[in-house]
Amino acid sequence: MRFRTIPRHLLQSARLLAPALGALALCGLGCHQRKPPVIAVIPETTAQEVWESAHAEAARVATSWGWDTFWNGPSREDDLLGQIQIMEKEVDRGAAGIILAPDHAVALISPVREAVAKNIPVAIINNPLAASPKGDVVFVLNDDVATGQLAAQRVEPYLRGKSDEVAIIGVHPSFLGSLAIAAAMKAALEREHPGVHIVEQRAIFGSSESEDAEDDLVQKHPDLRAIVALNVTQTRSASDALSRAKLVGKVALIGCEQDFDVMYRVRMGQMDSVIAKDTGSMVRNAMGWIHRRREGTATGETIVVPPKLVTRENIDSPEIQRVLAVHGGML
């Protein structure tokens, strides 16, 4: 008597299939583990070199850790929707961390919350959001008070003590840092020179309108002693407007964001100075915080990075060139 052992070939197939499936699963797991974490760096815009320093520093730090970086941003600082879309794409892609230079203090809060909800640590750099940092969010900000005070110091030599007007252009409520700089500069000037009249102009990111606005500014304010420009576009426009009005050297132009083009104007004496943002250091701090946060040893906080005053005299110094470099600070 015997029973037929029918499923023998199935068992043989299973014996062959099981190790293959196991190997495949292990390979898949292994491949997944081998993929390095990706830090997404989203600047205010990719059009200005001020953010290339941040890009280079992020790449340098990530490489030293064996991580990867993703870099992209809108082509204008006011392309809020573009920045939100990039942010959402990176959240969906499951970035290991996001470094964001927000183009709006309020509108970016929801995308950041969405990232935090997916346990993605977010470092806000340069300008703060209109919400306090906590948990998975850190603020690594430019020292806007120091920037405002430095600007006031640079303006002082140009004041004549009577009917002095100083313009601060590029103030925008979406960029809280610009409000802080303006407030600090006003406070410093009012403290030392109470008679100075401050002219405030909102931020303009289109070059055409900016050109018009700065021409108007120069023409309508004959007692203008200095212009403090908070973004690159308006710095260029103000420089051109002063040049057209033959006021270069008579009206001080102080920029608060660097760009190779703007720095070249400092070299050529067309501008007084630039109070450069150390975006490389901001990103380095942000990367370190994200790394610690992923290890569970960091919480939400605010880190302030001091700016650097760049003049025609110190522009070639190693310290300044390090801040302006776009290669990760390795001179």
Partner 1 sequence: MSALSKRYAFVAFVVVLVLGAAGSTAFLLVRAHRDRYHLRTDRMNEWTSYGGVWSLANGTFHNNSNDRGDKLMSGSPDWKNLSFSADVQMDHGSGDAGLMVRSNDEDRGVDAYNGYYAGLRVVEGTLIAGRSNYSWSEVRPVAAPGGVHPGVWYHLQLVMVGCRLGVSAKDLSSGQTAALVLHEEPCASHGRIGLRSVTSGGAWRNVVAGPGTQAALNAIAAQAKGEERPQPLTTEAAYAMHFSDYRPMRPAEPDQRDPQTRASVWHLGDLTGLRGEVPKRVLVRGVVTLTEPDLYIEDSTGGAMVKHPQGPPVNVGEGVEISGEVHPLFYSAQLDQSTLRVISTGAPAPPVSVTPWQAASGAYDARFIEIEGRLTHEPYTENGFQVLDLAEGGETFRALYPDRPGQALRSLRVNSLLRLRGVCVLGKTYTQELIPFLVFLRSSDDAQVLQDPPWWTPRHMLFVGLVLIVLACSVQLAYFRFRQWQRDAIQSERERIAHDIHDTMAQSFAGIGYQIQGLRTSIVRNAAVSRDKIAEQLASTSELVSRCHANASQTIEMLGSASPEEGDLLGMLAERTYKLSGGEIGVSREEQGNVRPLSMRVRSVLFNIGQEAITNAITHGNPTAFTFMMRYEKRFATMMIVDDGSGFDAVPEDEGFGILGMRHRAREIGGTVEVLSSPGVGTRVGVTFPLSRLQFIERLPLHRWHWLRKRAAATPVSE
Q: Where does this chain bind partner 1 (CB under 8 A)?
A: 1-7, 10, 46-47, 52, 55-56, 59, 70-76, 78-82, 205-209, 211-212, 215, 219, 236, 239-240, 243-246, 248, 258, 260-261, 263-265, 267, 270, 315-316, 321, 324-327, 331
Least spacing, CB of residue 297 vs partner 1, in Å:
30
**Exposure b/e, 236-275, CB count within 10 A at least 16 = b:** bbbbbbbeeeebbeebbbbbbbbbeebbebbeeebbbbbb
Least spacing, CB of residue 91 vs partner 1, in Å:
16
Closest alpha carbon to 83 in 129, 134, 15: 129
Least spacing, CB of residue 268 vs partner 1, in Å:
9
Least spacing, CB of residue 318 vs partner 1, in Å:
10
What strand order describes the sheet that includes 165-171?
197-202, 165-171, 224-229, 252-255, 273-276, 308-311
Integer Cα distance of 243 and 238 in angstroms: 8
The answer to whether the beta carbons of residues 166 and 329 sit under 8 Å apart is: no
Integer Cα distance of 55 and 69 in angstroms: 9
The answer to whether the beta carbons of residues 86 and 72 sit under 8 Å apart is: yes
Least spacing, CB of residue 161 vs partner 1, in Å:
29
Least spacing, CB of residue 4 vs partner 1, in Å:
6
Q: What are the tokens at 235?
A: 């710095």
The answer to whether the beta carbons of residues 151 and 251 sit under 8 Å apart is: no
Q: Which is nearer to partner 1, 180 or 263 (CB)?
A: 263
Query: Which region, left, alpha or beta, applies to residue 307 given φ > 0 means left and ψ of -120 to 50 means alpha?
Result: beta
3-state secondary structure of 119: coil
Least spacing, CB of residue 212 vs partner 1, in Å:
6
